[in-house]
Structure 1
Amino acid sequence: EAADGDPFTSLEHGWDEAFGYFGAATAYGDRSVSEIAASRAVDRNGDGAIDLLRECDFGASVNAGKRDHGSADAAPTNFAAQAFLAFRTGRTIISDAGGALDADQMAALTEQRDLAIGAWEAAIAATVVHYINDVLGDMGDFDTAAYDHDAFLNHAKHWSEMKGFAMMFQFNPRSPLGRDQFVQLHTLLGDAPVLPAAGAGAADDYRASLREARGILAAAYAFDAANIGDDAGQGGW
């Protein structure tokens, strides 16, 4: 029920807040994933300004579009559309109920919640795979002229993105990635990037760990092999 003075119920507030954290503009569903990946903001009505509610995507919604855009033609993903449709469908269920939901409405809403969270988290997992592949690619330039200062900075960025996104799984109590898998994942990723100074043996060991970590995510989220990448981090997200 709505609290005194509030124009919304606690359920409406919670659902809308979750949608806000996802970060999609109200016109998100009208944009292709290539458009989302290319630019988070589009002046759709041509008024010379960006409406932050209707014309600008933020955070997780942009990330989902990027992963869909980068998925293989043979195994396209649909994280962005699944999450957006689930949020909209769930909000319609809440609005149509006009108050407390009955058992059937709650079951339908729970289904949409799970679809939204599932797509959102899968996009995060795909992003960890993406940055694992970037790190593998960076390490492929070790002991060559290509691994210069700028390459080191890119390597540091890619590793940090990989580790940061991988921390998120712990916050979903219903995550497909179980507690033991989460611990194993972070044991494999380690606490710092392996650099050329560590030696060829350490670099090879860490590459193997990254591939194993990538495999854990692929299994937990049922990712198609076409999106995972090869031993060098090529050909996937």
Structure 2
Amino acid sequence: MPEYILFVDDEKLVKRLVSHYFRNQISQEKYEFIFAYNGIEALEKLQEYPLANLVITDINMPEMDGLTLIGKIREFRPYIKTIVISAYEDLKLIRQAMNLGACDFINKPIDFQDLETSIQRTLDELHQLKPAPLSSMLHVPTANIHNSSSGINEYLQESQIVMREVINNLSSHRQKFAEISLNYVQNSPEINSEALLLEVSQMLESIKNSTERLEQISNAVIGY
């Protein structure tokens, strides 16, 4: 399964540059990049892609800036890691970003080798946070067992967050399906079938992503 990475930048050229530089990792399904152009759209993307564990965001963006976005992410998905990019070498901004939980800061124009190193280091740190299986803890100090218990609690808290998202998504999708059905009955000749199929596909993809995230959490807990 690839690592899902959300890249947030209002410069649309960045999407093309990122996709080109990481084309091998993308084709090998090591990384899958999701793109948003402001903080509000980024939060919507995180609802659609609950498997995303890393967010790379610019600071200066319209509608919602990167610092506000990091704060929002910290509130509802504290396990997500963030990397900040900015054209301004402002120590105050860097300090604010780090205080909000950002784990790295990269200047623009982006040095993609530095970015690649930062992504790999951050993902490695993220994976190291996952506690070891129970089989490797049979003869370990009590403190380690306590740490593992804390890890399980974190997974359970995360699963509750994802479950709430699944329930909210299902409720939203049920309402949308009802609206689609009503529109189809009332305006059958005017229905755009391609748009209808796309919307249904997006609904199903959102549910699928949430289900995969729950399965991932479940497997991690079972591994203790």
Given the two structures, how large is their TM-score scaled by the length of structure 2?
Answer: 0.36
